[in-house]
Chains A and B, each alone.
Chain A
Amino acid sequence: MGEIIVVTSGKGGVGKTTTSASLACGFAKRGKKTAVVDFDIGLRNLDLIMGCERRVVYDFVNVIHGDCTLKQALIKDKRFDNLSVLAASQTKDKDALTQEGVAKVIDEMRNEFDIVICDSPAGIERGAFYAMYFADRAVVVVNPEVSSVRDSDRVLGIMSSKSRRAEQGQTPIKEHLLLTRYSPDRVEKGDMMSIADVEEILGVKVIGVIPEAPEVLSASNSGVPVILDEQADAGQAYVDAVARLLGEDRPMRFTEPKRKGFFQRMFGG
């Protein structure tokens, strides 16, 4: 039986899809049979970040409607043969996702894969609700910024009361925070909340800290998830996060300001 992991946040633009794509590649690289599903119906984007946008034939809603089989809709990743992508539909129909439909697809995927990552849309509407409803674990992506932290708390509240695990009285969804766009320099100056601040406010532990880095944009520009950029701090930070999600103990990296040389300190740069 595979594990269902939702990547969610409430707020938009914090890095859910970037995180979903990187975690999916990371798990696949670690030998897990992995699938990543785009729940953002009407605003498909995971395919672009994964670099498979031109190979989408069938989508999530097609599978729900029975237009095709799950196998036909899954797009095999070119880099890892144990990684598949299920694209979101571009339909404008808000009712395209139904509980029975999503349940059927998720259950089938659970039997087929070790790990299924559900990339949630922003907000707390239908798509976001179904992305978290069947989850065993949650990675809540949060920026160290007031609106993102507040929205994360709302999402954590909804998960703990409205998920299938909550409704059926099972052990609750295991929750983790993933801090993105973290800037150790600004934390040191007192302009940005620290890892400990966010953990204290939300009462959930951080499983990874991704530094603010230009490589994240370059990665999405080229459709190669940033975790595959081995030179980038952000990529290595995702590798660490995957290891921690697999139960390994890894110290946090890239969370302290980089010490600058004398000239840099005196003359800027």
Chain B
Amino acid sequence: MGLFDLFKSRPKNTAKTAKERLLIIVAQERGAHSAPDYLPLLKRELLEVIRKYVNVDPDAVMVNVQREGDQEVLELSVTLPDKD
């Protein structure tokens, strides 16, 4: 770095940005790849059953497997449509 470089604007700390982005994407991808294979089918069938009673959107059903210590928790959430 020379004398004149001191007057140039310093670049932002891009390494920190890289690390933050990677921590998020890596966690997300690890989750996706370790999820059981039956999840998509389970989600589709659940949606069919729910639709017999309530007309919900395909995106309204969320199925997730979460690991809490040694336990695996199957989390299911259904957003019901607004009543107008």
Taking Cβ atoms with an 8 Å cutoff, the residues of A that contact B are 144-146, 149-150, 153-154, 157, 187, 189-194, 197, 200-202, 265-269
Contact = CB atoms under 8 A, between A and B. Distances in A.
A265 B29 contact: no
Contacts of A194: 15
Contact of A267 (B3, B12, B16, B34): B3
Given A197-B19, A201-B19, A267-B3, A150 B25 contact: yes
Top 5 A-B residue pairs of the complex, sorted by shortest distance between their CB atoms? A268-B2, A190-B13, A197-B19, A193-B15, A153-B26
A154 to B, nearest CB: 7
Instruction: Name, among A149, A150, A201, the residue most crowded by chain B CB atoms within 10 Å (CB to CB).
Output: A201
Interface residues of B, number: 21
B18 interface: yes
Nearest to B33: A157
Contacts, number: 56
A145 B18 CA distance: 8
Given A154-B29, A190-B14, 17 more contacts: A149-B26, A150-B25, A150-B29, A153-B29, A154-B33, A157-B33, A189-B11, A190-B12, A190-B13, A190-B16, A191-B14, A193-B15, A200-B19, A201-B19, A266-B2, A267-B2, A268-B1
Contacts of B11: 189-191
B50 interface: no
Contacts of B3: 266-268
**Interface SS majority for chain A:** helix
A193 B18 contact: yes
B70 interface: no
Nearest to B4: A268
Most buried by A among B3, B15, B23: B15
B75 interface: no
A154 B14 CA distance: 23
Given A153-B29, A157-B33, A190-B16, A268 B5 contact: yes
A187 B14 CA distance: 10
A126 B12 CA distance: 41
Nearest to A146: B18
A150 B25 CA distance: 8
Contacts of B1: 265, 268
Contact of A201 (B5, B14, B16, B26): B26
